[in-house]
Amino acid sequence: MTPKIGFVGLGRMGANMARRLKDCGLTVSAVYDLHTAAADALAAELGALACHSLTEVTAASEVIITVVTDDQAMRAIFAATGDTLLKGAEGRTFINCATVSPAVHLEVEAAAEKAGAHALEGCMASSITQARDGSLYLMLGGKPQVFESMRPVLEKLSTNMRYVGASGEAAKVKALVNMVMNSNTAALAEGLGLASSLGLDLGMIREVFSQTGAASRVLVTDGEDMQNRDHSCYFSASHAAKDSGIALALAHAAGLHLPVAVATKAQYDQMVALGLGELDKSGVAELTFPGRGPASP
Amino acid sequence: MTPKIGFVGLGRMGANMARRLKDCGLTVSAVYDLHTAAADALAAELGALACHSLTEVTAASEVIITVVTDDQAMRAIFAATGDTLLKGAEGRTFINCATVSPAVHLEVEAAAEKAGAHALEGCMASSITQARDGSLYLMLGGKPQVFESMRPVLEKLSTNMRYVGASGEAAKVKALVNMVMNSNTAALAEGLGLASSLGLDLGMIREVFSQTGAASRVLVTDGEDMQNRDHSCYFSASHAAKDSGIALALAHAAGLHLPVAVATKAQYDQMVALGLGELDKSGVAELTFPGRGPASP
């Protein structure tokens, strides 16, 4: 018997994880999004219940996978009162996949346990394609027995699972991954932008970068997009700003000064301020290439 | 007939390139360094002439490979008067491998041609091991016919040559490579430093980084060294500061604002100011790990 699985937050990650589980023969019982049209459409596609309240999702599901945007949204769906996933949640397990502050995972776990439910954090260090084909790099945090009980579901989503430790620990690792990724991305955009201003062939430059100390994963994923201004969104600039912010809050609390991450976050904040926050993170190149953004001569 | 090859600048790059050419059966005719003891020792090792003036190198060689530290040193060895490589240089070819400002390569080429000689820039995007075993990633700039004439020598040094264009163009590419590499390195040091302050297992973190968007060449070359504080020098912090500075001067001239590179250069400048300039670039982790450097709580 596979569990009835509900989804809360039907952005491209959540929706594609739901499609993946359905493809694998699991039961997607209920879907919910603040944009009710998104819930209605996905419910029709997957044969699930289109919920217009959180309480309905909990009622219709044994496992609830949440993929919301930020700390505030996480706290809202697990609120103590009003329309909340915690109402009637006894026996349910929540798998929370948003990238949020580590402390929020601890709060949610405590609230879930108080309601007789379980919580697991499932931090995803991958993007939409991997969500759709079940190859997410997934870092899990929470009680070991909760992790073990969710294996049959998690294994359909991820070919590469790593149990990191208690709740909140995976969020820390994820924040670090994204902090470094964002800095590498912003640095690459600077290198390619300067190359462009020097009149160098960007295809040649990317090839030289790939064979030297400038090589990086983001060179592969974002380099050509920066050159071609193809900023279709896989991981948005506003998410990049948020995740670097989570990491910098941890650094601040630890008394560490991380100037490259600070400069990187400022670039993504500037994108948001300029109305470019929904571009892919590769869009940071709009700030560094001559003739594109406000920083050009 | 292979040419008689002289070397000027016998740091670990220059000395190991000379050893490599000797191993390949080429004739290392003359060696020179401001530290005369280094020249004497290498001359004895390779059976070359230990020169105590630049003019002697030119007299004893047909091809002269220079690997000096910076713009000032390059201008000094190619000075118009005094002890200079240009005296009696007619017919010689200079291969200049230091990472210097693009404009300096153009100056040197013009001066060499005025003296009836040729100049080629040979920018190396590799380190000591590759110098020793002839697997340098070498970017060449200069006149095509000069490049072609030097192929028999260059092919012994590099399994991976790329002719980039006119003199100065390779230096631009090299400055870009190192600018991005330095930023990736400083970003990695921040990620690992914060991980350390959060009590996370750094081996696990490096493994997660390697499988996600945080992956980079410097993670492979420098990550473990940052963790273990092994900063034996392959590419020094002071060189990192210099090369980021060359790139930022080009950016400034182009009217581009590159804040991540600026923050990175400031980190390497700080290392120099703290007397850590001769550590490897991985030593930037001394500024970002809790309990190590001046930025710790």
B134, B159 in Cβ contact below 8 A?
yes
Q: Where are the alpha helices (DSSP H) in chain B?
A: 12-23, 36-46, 54-60, 71-77, 102-114, 128-133, 144-157, 169-197, 202-210, 217-228, 237-254, 259-273
Same domain membership, residue A53 and residue A142: yes
Q: pLDDT per position in chain B (297 positions), as tens?
A: 689 999 999 999 999 999 999 999 999 999 999 999 999 999 999 999 999 999 999 999 999 999 998 999 999 999 999 999 999 999 999 999 998 899 999 999 999 999 999 999 999 988 889 999 999 999 999 999 999 999 999 999 999 899 999 999 999 999 999 999 999 999 999 999 999 999 999 999 999 999 999 999 999 999 999 999 999 988 899 999 999 999 999 999 999 999 999 999 999 999 999 999 999 999 999 999 999 976 443
Write down the pTM of the prediction: 0.88
Same domain membership, residue B241 and residue B149: no
Q: Which residues contact B107 (CB under 8 A, 6 or more apart)?
A: B75, B78
Does some domain include residue B141? yes
Tokens linked to A36: 């009710």
Same domain membership, residue A20 and residue A153: yes
Same domain membership, residue A73 and residue A219: no
Between CA B163 and CA B170 the distance in angstroms is 8
Does some domain include residue A180? yes
Same domain membership, residue A134 and residue A192: no
Same domain membership, residue A154 and residue A12: yes
Mean pLDDT of chain A: 95
Does some domain include residue A294? no
Same domain membership, residue B36 and residue B139: yes
* A window 262-291, beta carbon within 8 A of B: 262-264, 266-267, 288, 290
Q: Which of B150, B167, B184 is the last residue of a domain?
A: B167
Same domain membership, residue A177 and residue A160: no
Q: Which residues contact A95 (CB under 8 A, 6 or more apart)?
A: A63, A64, A65, A66, A120, A121, A122, A150, A153, A154
Query: Touching check for A214 and chain B: CB below 8 Å?
Result: yes
Given this model, what pLDDT does residue B99 score? 86
User: Over the stretch A56-103, which tens digit does the pLDDT of each residue have?
Assistant: 999 999 999 999 989 999 999 999 999 999 999 999 999 999 988 999
Tokens linked to A22: 């359905």
- Asked if A214 and B177 come within 8 Å (Cβ–Cβ), the reply is yes
Does some domain include residue B29? yes
Q: Which of B133, B167, B201 is the last residue of a domain?
A: B167
Query: Touching check for B193 and chain A: CB below 8 Å?
Result: yes
Does some domain include residue A296? no
Query: Touching check for A259 and chain B: CB below 8 Å?
Result: yes
A34, A53 in Cβ contact below 8 A?
no
Q: Compute the nearest-CA separation of B225 from chain A (Å).
A: 15
What's the CATH code of the domain at A146?
Answer: 3.40.50.720
- HEC readout, B184-195: HHHHHHHHHHHH
Helices (H) and strands (E) in chain A, counts: 12, 8
* ∠ CA A261-A262-A266, rounded to 5°: 115
Q: Which of B105, B134, B167 is the last residue of a domain?
A: B167
- Asked if A214 and B184 come within 8 Å (Cβ–Cβ), the reply is yes
Does some domain include residue A84? yes
Same domain membership, residue A187 and residue A85: no
Identify the domain containing residue B201 by its residue range. Answer: 172-287
User: Over the stretch A162-202, which tens digit does the pLDDT of each residue have?
Assistant: 999 999 999 999 999 999 999 999 999 999 999 999 999 99
Query: Is this complex's ipTM strictly greater than 0.95?
Result: no
Closest CA to A1 of A21, A27, A23: A27
Determine the residue among B164, B184, B200, B234 to mutate to test chain A binding: the one whose Cβ has the most chain A Cβ atoms within 10 Å: B184
